[in-house]
Amino acid sequence: MISHTDKLDRLILVADEEISSFRGILRIRDRVKAHVEHVASLEDLQHWMVANQSLLTQPNTAFCLIFDPHLFKQSLEWPLWAFFLNYPRICISRSGHWKTTTSALKSGIFEFIEKPFTLEQMKTLIQQVFLAHDSGMTIRNQFRSLTKREIETCELLVKGHSNK
């Protein structure tokens, strides 16, 4: 479990019954500059969510869920799954698990990788997730620095008015 005193801004949660995916991602954590945790059951996931919810709601925390849909046993309609819809999700699955993988794909995941995956594939995807987060933070910070009049101008532009 993460201590809320840790200065983390990149967090990866691997939700998979198999420990091998987690171990592989641990091998690249320094290259992606992230803290990595693992849960192997829905019960563990629920406990993890309760313990870390305040951390995940902080805007500077970049979070990515890497999951095997087989862990959810066709329960991607599970009420707590909605919590993760606000975050990038990378689905990892074996080719024989098409039914649960299809459900995961329909949930709007960030990307899908078939097991076994290479660490280079995973590193690239994780870097893309964090790059997207960093870009979003840059844009949000730029909007925070706008004056009241500049914000009014932006609102008018969005409504279709000219910038004059």
Q: How confident is the model at residue 1 (pLDDT cuts 50, 70, 90)?
A: very low
pTM value is 0.74
Task: Summarize the confidence of residues 78-83 as an average pLDDT.
Answer: 68
**Ramachandran angles phi, psi of 43, nearest 5°:** -65, -45
- The verdict on residue 129 lying in a domain is yes
Name the residue with tokens 């200065």. Answer: 7
Phi and psi, residue 30, nearest 5°: -70, -35
Instruction: Name the 3-class secondary structure at 102.
Output: helix
CA distance 51 to 38: 14
Taking only the tens place, the pLDDT of each residue in 96-115 is 655 555 555 555 667 788 88
Beta partners for residue 39, in sequence order: 15
Which CATH number characterizes residue 22's domain? 3.40.50.2300
The count of structural domains within the chain is 1
Enclosing domain of residue 39? 10-158
Q: Is residue 3 part of a domain?
A: no
